[in-house]
Structure 1
């Protein structure tokens, strides 16, 4: 059997909470989910597996159709995100119009939240629920045996017109048994990141799940318990990436530093092998200390992404972050002292937030001195505390995400938290945030001095121009109550 795995395009992506001109210059990262699927199928089955990243190849619908025809697969697996579900449906239709006998399999966050609504799409044959590696292996090995399909936990499919759900498979506890993502079947040298100092970049997971309860995140409701790979297994993959010519790894764990002892073990193993590849991580401000940062820096860690989210104690509590301003200031001070780059994530437009709160957050962002900030307007996602709170309080008028899942249309606009702002004002404030942080002369001079290569200059110049293009003078666009 030939299996084609597709990372869908974003032609009809729901409007992001990040200004589009910035979104365009962020780069394209490898789709880890389907690369793990590809690696698992290649190791544990005899099926032929191909991968098609439409985002990397900037493929049009016509080019996608030609690629599907050229591949002529027996089954196609597609990653389904709510933001890209319209494009996913379009690809499903292309597949079935070409050959109705090709089996269409969807996985990803969208189908786990809205399985019934997704199965209303007539072109979809199977949903793979939860973590998909073992489920999809069992599915493709028995895809034409209806009786055996009923015995595979983790599937949704139709039998005689009726939707069948076989439950959700238990989470894999030993992540070391998973083969590494099948980067070798991709054009992996073309992936990039605006933040990276190296031209060839990849992504990596060293753990799955998150134990924290942030109100804007779906993790608490989707039941993803924290599990981690061993240090030796992690460094094995780092070493493989280095041998492939990759210069930098973006580690996408929700929080790499949850288990301090494991972080130390990873660093010690890295040093023992004499590796040179750089890596960056995501961490909470209350999970780092001087000793750990020194060791991470020595072991190739060049950048830490911290989820700060807000600059006031009030909003940090609303978001259930479990941190405070003092912790944030300490973490950034220590990180900067050790010479590790820092990126601070912020959101504006949270429940109960006011203009004064947002002004304070902008000031706080400058005060803690991260190397970069990434600010968005808070978007209440499905399966989050904030979304449920909004429905209950009527700030969010209807269950619009479910309505969209039932009837995806290109003109859909997700509801923001507009208790104290209208949507236009929120995005004006977001533009102001970017201008206040990035267009300071001192910041620009510092960034120019830090550039290490022409490629890095080109990437960051494009990103900088995108910020300038947001609006030449955002102050004129903002209501009087926002003006300073």
Structure 2
């Protein structure tokens, strides 16, 4: 039996859903699979992954799945594996975007985009003798040919009916590192109801996923029932980027849950222009307890420039309508766009103050990161001088939330940034340059967002006021001595304890 080690090398706090389907596909093709997902509870650096995980298993193939974060270390691991004699394959967001770059840094084959059909081809090719002239048969694969040229095979058809993928496969994954304070397993309650997103927001990198593939209501409910029976899960997260693309399907889903009297509740995320009052009522009656809206901005200029397709007025109306229906909300707002001024932030602040009584929590981070393959990157990387920033040492900690990606969050962030609002990319001028009034306006917005987050996390008013006061003090200290808190606290506390107490989509007491 062909052995493959599937590695998610950069630390993550929740089970990576997409990887579970990759694992499943290799198993279905008869491969002996060993999985290592790097976490903060069982963190390993790249050398330890190579020595403790890969070499101890001695696989025929090493498969790496990764994004843009800490890419230099990931590439070093690829090269170590290739030098060790392993056949290296790579997939995930960054290899899909930069296939040639990944190949030049140690990968033998890169899978671009949706990989299941390409994995089928690869498994046949590998077990049939690895004839290099037949690499052209592996759909969606990129590789370097015998003359040193990069070849990109045609991608397979998208899987538009995702029932054929079935459920997540977590049987090969160590669940203990994802288990948090209340005993739940972060990511185990995820239900993937479809793949892709047809919208083209300029800050989002998913050019391989514009076509939206859907899963049948029968298949979705079957997975919910199975996870309830096997793990006792009664509350689920519908993980689609835009859950309500097809409203009729959601009406059907909710009707089924009610008619079959299934004891499930669930949360979902969508866009504010993909719901209406009738649908929201149906979703609430069907067990939805909270909805996440990617509002992103309450400023019309920013909404237009990021291609959201709706106005600030639309955002107000939908959020207020949802609140009046008694549906709690989690709201995503973004900052740090290069064209923004204090006025843009003030528009967000007015929005927060108007709707906050209906909102469970606002996103604790949201400063834009110009990821490769986004409109923001394409338009501004030359102007601001961050071309290929992911290949520069000083940007290796840049992930969606800085303090959630590093081994020692206290060394790179303040109490304010970890507990009220992570304004690191704005305050530190990571990609774009901002003046002091803008930074102060973002911090002001952060105080509003942070207060909601603290109240969502703690039941004790005393603890809420204490945490908030410490957060304000932290931000004030940062303005006067930007590095002081990080230097002192980062030297005293070196273990990342953040993910041990936070759950996906809600908070628990420390």
Q: Give TM class, smaller chain.
A: 0.7 to 0.9
Contact 1:210 1:225 in 2 (8 A): yes
1:388 to 365, 368, 378: 378
Deviations 1:192-242 (A, max 9, x none): 689x996665223211122222222223x4452122111111112222222
Contact 2:160 2:212 in 1 (8 A): no
2:121 to 138, 146, 151: 138
- Pair 1:119–1:469, CA change in 2 (3 A): farther
- Pair 1:427–1:83, CA change in 2 (3 A): farther
How far apart, CA to CA, are the structure 2 residues paired with 1:59 and 1:444? 28
How far apart, CA to CA, are the structure 1 residues paired with 2:255 and 2:39? 36
Contact 2:8 2:65 in 1 (8 A): yes
Superposed counterparts of 1:441-460, under 5 Å? 448-449=458-459
How many aligned residue pairs are there?
436
Contact 1:39 1:179 in 2 (8 A): no
Q: SS state of the match for residue 142, structure 1?
A: helix
2:211 to 222, 225, 234: 225
Contact 1:51 1:185 in 2 (8 A): yes
CA shift, 1:429, in A, is 4.7
How far apart, CA to CA, are the structure 1 residues paired with 2:183 and 2:245? 26
Q: SS state of the match for residue 473, structure 2?
A: coil
2:407 alignment counterpart: none
CA shift, 1:128, in A, is 0.8
Superposed counterparts of 1:270-285, under 5 Å? 270-285=257-272
Superposed counterparts of 1:412-423, under 5 Å? 418=432, 421-422=434-435
1:35 alignment counterpart: 20
2:360 alignment counterpart: 371
2:494 alignment counterpart: none
Deviations 1:302-340 (A, max 9, x none): 221111111222222222211222322232223333443
CA shift, 1:358, in A, is 0.7
Deviations 1:223-274 (A, max 9, x none): 5212211111111222222223234332221100111011112222233443
Greater alpha carbon shift after TM alignment, 258-267 vs 83-92: 83-92
Superposed counterparts of 1:139-288, under 5 Å? 139-143=122-126, 144-162=130-148, 163-188=150-175, 191=178, 201-202=187-188, 203-219=190-206, 221-222=207-208, 224-245=210-231, 246-288=233-275
In structure 2, the gaps of 5 or more residues are 399-428, 481-510
Higher relative contact order (CA 8 A, sep 6+): 1
Contact 1:349 1:417 in 2 (8 A): no
How far apart, CA to CA, are the structure 1 residues paired with 2:217 and 2:234? 20
In structure 1, the gaps of 5 or more residues are 11-26, 452-456, 480-484
Contact 1:80 1:107 in 2 (8 A): yes
> So what's the TM-score if we normalise by structure 2?
0.76
Contact 2:112 2:141 in 1 (8 A): yes
CA shift, 1:155, in A, is 0.9
CA shift, 1:94, in A, is 4.1
Superposed counterparts of 1:462-477, under 5 Å? 472=473, 474=475
- Pair 1:94–1:207, CA change in 2 (3 A): same
- Pair 1:134–1:471, CA change in 2 (3 A): farther
1:435 alignment counterpart: 447
Deviations 1:130-180 (A, max 9, x none): 101111221122122223222222111233252332222221222111132
- Pair 1:277–1:86, CA change in 2 (3 A): farther
2:90 alignment counterpart: 106
Q: SS state of the match for residue 334, structure 2?
A: strand
Contact 1:344 1:372 in 2 (8 A): yes
How far apart, CA to CA, are the structure 2 residues paired with 1:56 and 1:181? 22
- Pair 1:212–1:82, CA change in 2 (3 A): same
Does 2:344 match 1:343? no
1:59 to 14, 36, 43: 43
How far apart, CA to CA, are the structure 1 residues paired with 2:144 and 2:56? 28
Greater alpha carbon shift after TM alignment, 183-192 vs 134-143: 183-192
> So what's the TM-score if we normalise by structure 1?
0.80
- Pair 1:339–1:90, CA change in 2 (3 A): farther
Contact 1:38 1:181 in 2 (8 A): no
How far apart, CA to CA, are the structure 2 residues paired with 1:473 and 1:437? 15
